[in-house]
Amino acid sequence: MTATGKILVTVGYGKATLRTSVTTLTAFRLSAPFTRDPLASSGQRIPGFGSVTSVGVHPDANGRMYSDRVGHDPGTIVLLTASKTRQGAPVCDAALLLRLRPGAALINTAARLPTGADNIIGDRFTVFTGNADLLSVEEAELLGVRIPRNFLQKFFNEEEVAESFFVDILQGATIERPELVAVSTPEGTKVKEVPAAPKRRLIFRK
């Protein structure tokens, strides 16, 4: 975390065009109800950490991938998307939801890229590295996010998500993930984080 309490994350995005296949990677800060702002430019950008990588041997034709290091507030919801077309027709659309949290596992998320003779970057590119929890659609809705039905149907097919993203845990959580619970108050329903129920230890007596 930064001195101002921000959680530092590395974010990647860009467009890869190889022969007839095009893959577009985006990363957003998602706010209620469904406001999407680029994750790289909506946070506290860390100077000197930006990079640009050519996808293929012809950068202007094959596209470029960008990486930035930025700080965001704890609790920020991240929306990662990957869209692939072939000869202009949609082939695969996928999305992941993450929520930044101090003490969460340090995760690395990469997206699949098209391969071919012109590809010099490899078959995957890191789109997110940081301390975060994977978030379900139901949990996002508890936090006030309302994902449109057509977006859900297009981007949250489990098979296409598994095909598009690779998630690796670089370091385990130092603080156990809390549960999100909706609580009724005089001001309306609010969401609270409550410690996860401790796991019971079973003692077998001989």
Q: How many domains does the chain have?
A: 1
In a domain, 181, yes or no: no
| DSSP letter, residue 101 | -
Quick check: is 23 in a domain? Answer: yes
Going by C-beta distance under 8 Å and a sequence separation of 6 or more, which residues neighbour residue 198? none
Q: What is the pLDDT of residues 132-158, one digit of tens each?
A: 999 999 999 999 999 999 999 999 999
pLDDT-derived band at 173 (thresholds 50, 70, 90) equals very high
Judge whether 20 lies within some domain.
yes
Residue 194 lies in a domain: no
197 in a structural domain: no
Task: Report yes or no on whether pTM surpasses 0.85.
Answer: yes
Range of the domain at 46: 7-175
Closest CA to 147 of 36, 50, 20: 36
Please report whether residue 186 resides in a domain. no
Report angle CA 96, 102, 105 to the nearest 5 degrees. 55
> What is each CA distance from 131 to 19, 104, 108, 205, in whole angstroms?
36, 5, 9, 40
Query: pLDDT by residue (tens digit) across 27-60?
Result: 999 999 999 999 999 999 999 999 999 999 999 9
Q: To which residue do tokens 């695969």 refer?
A: 92
Q: Rounded distance, CA 195 to CA 176, Å?
A: 8
In a domain, 166, yes or no: yes
205 domain residue, yes or no: no
**Residue 109, H or E segment:** strand 106-112
